[in-house]
Structure 1
């Protein structure tokens, strides 16, 4: 696999939030959890705005129209890996 490519299982299925974390469930059942603080637009959004997301590109990206936020699954995976060191 080339650097920067995601395995086909690294595709978003759903997104959920708690008080401090965003949890992205992938189609293979893995869950990526990252602090909302990493994303100021999401941190400052209302819970209703956070719930109004779209999954794009067959699961490779997340988009919140109301707050103009876009996040890639690849970026989440890279960030989660870097911050777990």
Structure 2
């Protein structure tokens, strides 16, 4: 059982964008959810153009050019891709 309770009415993404280092998702209640881009290797490896092709759904974000889907719930719970490698480890 998770201790994180999520109000589904408030987690709908209304905007999303990627910086060079982060994924920023704005939720319906105005909260900005920021996660490191290295959590999502497909996004890290995507071109800027591919990262900017974003589709929002009631529960997440989709990038059709790279076939990547991320749920807001997963981001809130700190779930990263199993292939994610922290930048310090990637440099070794």
Q: TM-score, normalised to structure 2's length? A: 0.75
RMSD between aligned alpha carbons?
1.9
Distance change (3 Å), C-alpha of 1:20 and 1:77: same
Q: Which has the higher helix share?
A: 1
Tell me the distance in 2 between the aligned counterparts of 1:19 and 1:64.
Answer: 16
Larger-gyration structure (1/2): 2
Tell me, yes or no, if structure 1 residue 26 matches structure 2 residue 27: yes
Unmatched tracts of structure 1, length 5 or more: 81-85
Unmatched tracts of structure 2, length 5 or more: 80-92
The number of residue pairs the alignment matches comes to 77
SS at match of 1:79: coil
